[in-house]
Amino acid sequence: MNQVDYLRISLIDRCNFRCQYCMPEGAELDYIFKQQLLTDDELLTLIQFVFIPVGFTRFRLTGGEPLLRPRVVELVGAIASLPQTQDLSMTTNGFLLAPLAKSLYNVGLRRINISLDSLDPETFDQIIGNRGRGRWQQVWDGIQAAYRVGFTPLKLNVVVIPGVNDKEILDLAALTIDKQWHVRFIEFMPIGNSQLFGDRGWIASEELRQLIRDRWGLTESQVCGNGPADVFQIPGAKGTLGFISQMSECFCERCNRMRLSADGWLRPCLLNEDAQIDLKTALRSGISTTQLREQVRSLLAIKPEINFKQRDPGNTTGVYTRTMSQIGG
């Protein structure tokens, strides 16, 4: 087990998209009331006096859609300014990014992941729930703005969905040839939503690698990622290709992260709701940060025992009480 020093922080559970793999049609969504969210001060207190002292130095801001968080630029700047923050990144759908990219960069954000599941506007609209007509262009504008500002690496996340966007693998991979863009292909996780895309469910990363290998060749990249991606490169390309293979090539043994939900629940695993700590309630009840650190250390101690492989492989019918958007997936 790697040293656990990476915390994914969900800033908000709401999203302005309703991607089918994240918020399936018909899913009941109980959004968190504003007063139930960790405030900026509470979040900064936890980062500075609980998480950093127990070894967390790298932080990724997620959602929902993190750019919906009020005063998000100021919050990003406050986290980036902490001297112990070694790495700060954000995952966004890019829809609100274009006007904010320069401000986010100026306050210290340097790495950004943008979801781009399709290069075809119609397919894109289908994936985000058929209610976002014309949104592809605004996301593409956000990607271009981030590139111009200087975010590096600029990563594009692609959830590969059988029969929906799998025909675009080569087109998406080609984005890495002439620009220092880093495309990450993510295996679709049929957890509570397996009925959406037929019987096949997900496509193994090795199938995608072979497709790319047959077209251009493929070599292992010298660029190492901060997370679970296995990184490759088309020979001569400026960017890289990453493959996140949680279904076909479980990477629990090298997981280096925990997750903090927008309402303050700390979890050691994306798909585990048994082992968790309610830090917000504890903080608001007056428990000291010293005591909270000990609770976090206790959770860290049992993290090696809690992993994705322990799931029941037949259990794909919604046993998890929160959607991906609500836990910062």
CB burial readout 126-143, b (16+ within 10 A) else e:
bbbeeebeebbeebbbbb
Tell me what pLDDT residue 256 has: 85
Which of 62-66, 111-115, 126-130 is predicted least confidently? 126-130
Cβ-based neighbours of 158, under 8 Å, separated by 6 or more: 115, 116, 117, 165, 172, 183, 184, 185, 186
Task: Tell me if 68 is assigned to some domain.
Answer: yes
Cα-Cα-Cα-Cα dihedral sign, residues 24, 28, 34, 38:
negative
Contact 22, 15 (CB under 8 A): yes
User: Once rounded to an integer, what is the mean pLDDT over residues 259-264?
Assistant: 94
Specify the pairing of strand 257-260 against strand 219-220.
Answer: unpaired
HSE of 117, CA atoms in CB hemisphere, 13 A? 27
**Tally of domains within the chain:** 1
Look up the domain containing 272 and give its range: 6-327
30: helix, coil or strand? coil
Tell me what pLDDT residue 109 has: 97
Task: Tell me if 41 is assigned to some domain.
Answer: yes
DSSP conformation class of 211? H
| pLDDT tier, 16 (very low <50, low <70, confident <90, very high otherwise) | confident
Q: Could you tell me which of 56, 141, 151, 44 has the C-alpha nearest to residue 97?
A: 141
Task: Tell me if 93 is assigned to some domain.
Answer: yes
pTM of the model: 0.89
Tell me what pLDDT residue 67 has: 98
Tens digit of pLDDT for each residue in 162-208? 889 999 999 999 999 999 999 999 987 755 545 554 555 678 999 99
Tell me what pLDDT residue 51 has: 98
Q: Is the pLDDT of residue 18 over 90?
A: no
Tell me what pLDDT residue 153 has: 83
Tens digit of pLDDT for each residue in 24-51? 565 555 566 677 899 999 999 999 999 9
Tens digit of pLDDT for each residue in 198-249? 555 678 999 999 999 999 999 998 776 666 789 999 999 999 999 988 777 7
Q: Is the pLDDT of residue 161 over 70?
A: yes
Tens digit of pLDDT for each residue in 267-318? 988 766 667 999 999 999 999 999 999 999 999 998 877 665 555 444 443 3
Alpha helices in 168-303, H assignment, sequence order:
169-173, 175-178, 205-216, 279-284, 289-302
User: Once rounded to an integer, what is the mean pLDDT over residues 62-81?
Assistant: 97
Q: Is the pLDDT of residue 156 over 70?
A: yes
The share of the chain scoring above pLDDT 70, in percent, equals: 81
Amino acid residing at 130: N
Distance separating the N- and C-terminal Cα atoms of the chain = 21
Task: Tell me if 216 is assigned to some domain.
Answer: yes
Q: Is 222 buried (19+), middle (13-18) or exposed (0-12) by CB count in 10 A?
A: exposed
Tell me what pLDDT residue 307 has: 60
Q: Residue 102 corresponds to which tokens in the numbers above?
A: 């320069």
Q: Is the pLDDT of residue 328 over 90?
A: no
Tell me what pLDDT residue 249 has: 72
Residue 297: CATH number of its domain = 3.20.20.70
Tell me what pLDDT residue 245 has: 80
Tell me what pLDDT residue 221 has: 86
Task: Tell me if 1 is assigned to some domain.
Answer: no
Q: Is the pLDDT of residue 107 over 80?
A: yes
DSSP conformation class of 264? S
Task: Tell me if 19 is assigned to some domain.
Answer: yes
| pLDDT tier, 155 (very low <50, low <70, confident <90, very high otherwise) | very high
